[in-house]
Structure 1
Amino acid sequence: MAAEVKKIAVSMRKRAGAGKVKRQKAVFLLIAIVPSFGGYLLFTLYPNILSIYYSLLNWDGLSEPKFVGFSNYIFMVSDQFVWRALYHNLLYMIVVPFAILIISLLLAYLLNNKPYRENGFYKVLYFFTNILSAVVVALLWSFIFDGSFGLLNGILELVGIPAGGYYWLGDTRTALWALVIPMVWGGVGLYAVIFMNAISGIPKSIYEAAIIEGARPMQILIKITIPLIRGVIRVCALFVVLGTIKGFEMIMIMTNGGPEGSTDVIGLYMFNMAFGKEYHNYGYASAIGMVLFVILVAAKLILDKYYPDEGVEY
């Protein structure tokens, strides 16, 4: 009888201990998940749902909102400024990520295969551009492109090319492409460092075997390095593409979409439509934001389809 009572007591203690462990796990999960999930609901999901509602309104943010249904979307189809901004986004989405990834990859490959003593310094130097804010970068390059005292015109004059006080950001023929340079300059450093770290993780024996077989540096880069860091390149490409589509801060500071709308992008057009001096149409701006959201999702799906994530084993 005493043995049975002892067994029951031990069983009850085990159940109590198991119940205590479950409660501790529940409390831990509650503490770990609820703040993050609550922040997601409050700062991501709720604003997006609210934007969908705003996109169906004619509202300036102050007066009584008027429900107009899909009128904002219908008007957007015939809005030539939206299509012009999307065209500029498309150009930037093709040129800027391609240039950033190619230059970053070449720099990273060069520094990893040439063991300079200054490699650590180069990492810091490349990453320095990412420490600077977009405002600082925009102001810096605005001075460089300035027609009166800009560094670019000064260099051209030194090499015998008469610039004649040319304003690179004030001409519709050059403003759009001039903005590509600071975008690439400001993005290369981060991805060069990422690629350097990714390449350094590739076993040296693979490169040694390729060199013994007579492979040239460019062949090693294309046939060995790039395939082995494919996953890293994919993630970087995703961030660069999505960042290029969404970004407008640098353009707003340097040209604000001018001259004559030649550098306008969809994010800047949406911002000016909501908070600009001439317009205060939150409903239409929200509709443009919904289109931008669809474009971002479509870009992500296209990248996943044509550049799938494939694991690599050394």
Structure 2
Amino acid sequence: MLMSTTVPAKRTAMQKLGLDKAATQKAIFLLLAIVPPFGGYLVLTLFPNILSVYYSLLDWDGLTDSTFVGFDNFVSAFQDPFVWRALWHNLLLMLFIPVLVVLISLLLAYLITNKGYKESGFLKILFFFPNVLSTVVVALLWAFIYDGSYGLLNEVLSLIGLNLDNFYWLGDERTALWALIPPWVWGGVGLYAIVFANAMMAIPKSLYEAAMLEGAGHMTRLFKITMPLVMPVVRVSALFLVVGTLKGFEMVLILTNGGPSGATDVIGLYMFNLAFGNEYHNYGYASAVGMILFVILVTAKLLMDKFVPNRGVEF
């Protein structure tokens, strides 16, 4: 009887020790997996944002002693016509760039996945190529295209009989802002075409086969099967594009630096020049403008959550 009671007791203790060891290993793994990225988020994202809120209440050039001014920076920002002009330019870009990128990317992705081209693999690489290039390279490439003296665009137009006499597209207030859209779209289409193509390739072929047996044509399959199933991916991509268009300014900085005469100034570039430009060094005021941009970004996200459907069709 002593043997029959002792062995199960030892076995239970060993099992408990094994469970405790497994739980400890799991806790250590989770700690190592979560703490570094969360710590990086706290140090590199959350803490700087909190500091920006504090800096927005100061009159400070980033170097000398600061003066607390409360909400005066925000009052000045709302009365600043340059802020409103930059926001208007951001709005115009936001109305065109995300829509064009999504539509062109969806078209390319659909052609790659549903037309059965033998060159689909090569086409994916070709479409993705602009994303391999840095923003500086893309901007400089399009600066040469738009150049008035030897630019490719003017040369092509002259071949079809439109001689513009060395017209510089980025140097005219009527065309400079609109000239920013093609390089921005060209630089973003490739990535989202690959994303949408992968989402379409994940759709079971049986759905298309069943639809074809029912007599559904290309357009019916596109709008009744493909689009509903990839809509969650399109929604997230559109959100990234809207946010990137609102806060991005690298392309504008390299191509025009806000010129001519502020015709291409955007809120991110204006904030950057306020803090680090040659004429201004008002870090507190720039932080206040950044807080306004933050509120606009959050508002844009909430509006997209409300008006853009989030429900995808499951299969």
Range of TM-score over shorter length = over 0.9
Which residue number in structure 1 is paired with residue 134 of structure 2? 133
* Alpha-carbon distance, 1:10 to partner: 4.1
- 2:181 matched to 1:177? no
Q: What's the CA shift for 1:9?
A: 4.2
- Whole-angstrom distance in 2 between the partners of 1:206 and 1:14: 49
**Matched-pair contact (CA < 8 Å) for 2:169–2:179:** yes
Residue deviations 1:147-178 (CA, integer Å, cap 9, x gap): 11111011111111111000100010000001
Q: Does 1:191 align with 2:188?
A: no
Separation in structure 1 between the aligned mates of residue 27 and residue 204 of structure 2, nearest angstrom: 43
For residues 13 and 278 of structure 1, what CA distance do their matches in structure 2 show?
Answer: 73
Query: Which residue in the other structure is 2:206 paired with?
Result: 205
- SS at 1:229's partner residue? helix
Matches of 2:11 and 2:43, distance apart in 1: 47
Query: Could you tell me how far apart the structure 2 residues matched to 1:219 and 1:28 are?
Result: 49
Which residue number corresponds to residue 41 of structure 1? Answer: 42
Hey, what does 2:101 align to over in structure 1?
100
- 1:261 is paired with a residue whose SS is coil
1:237 aligns with 2:215: no
Q: Is 224-233 or 39-48 further displaced after alignment?
A: 224-233
Gaps of 5+ in 1: none
Question: What residue in structure 1 maps to residue 264 of structure 2?
Answer: 263
Q: Which runs of 5+ in 2 are unaligned?
A: none
* TM-score, length-scaled by structure 1: 0.95
Q: Which residue of 1 aligns with 2:2?
A: 2
Structure 1 position 12, deviation (Å): 3.7
What is the deviation of 1:296?
1.3
Shift of 1:214: 4.4
Residue 272 of structure 1 corresponds to 273
After TM superposition, give the deviation of residue 134 of structure 1 in Å. 0.5
Instruction: Give me the TM-score of the superposition, normalised by structure 2.
Output: 0.94
SS of the equivalent of 1:24 reads helix
Moved more, 10-19 or 105-114: 10-19
What is the deviation of 1:108? 1.4
| Distance (whole Å) between structure 1 residues aligned to residue 27 and residue 208 of structure 2 | 50
Q: State the shift of 1:212 in Å.
A: 4.5
Counterpart-to-counterpart distance in 2, 1:219 and 1:136: 41
> 2:148 matched to 1:142?
no
Matched residue type, 2:275: A
CA–CA distance in structure 2, aligned partners of residues 49 and 242 of structure 1: 20
Q: Is the 8 A contact 2:229 2:312 kept in 1?
A: no
Give 1:146-157 correspondences, 5 Å limit. Answer: 146-157=147-158
Match of 1:161 in 2: 162
Summarize the Cα distance change of 1:219–1:18 in structure 2 as closer, same or farther, 3 Å threshold.
closer
Query: Which residue of structure 1 aligns with residue 294 of structure 2?
Result: 293
CA distance in 1, matches of 2:21, 2:186: 56
Distance in 1 between residues matched to 2:215 and 2:283, nearest whole Å? 62
Q: Could you tell me whether the CA contact under 8 Å between 2:131 and 2:188 is conserved in 1?
A: yes
Counterpart in the other structure of 2:115: 114
CA distance in 1, matches of 2:22, 2:205: 47
- 2:96 alignment partner AA: V
Q: Which runs of 4+ in 1 moved over 6 A?
A: none
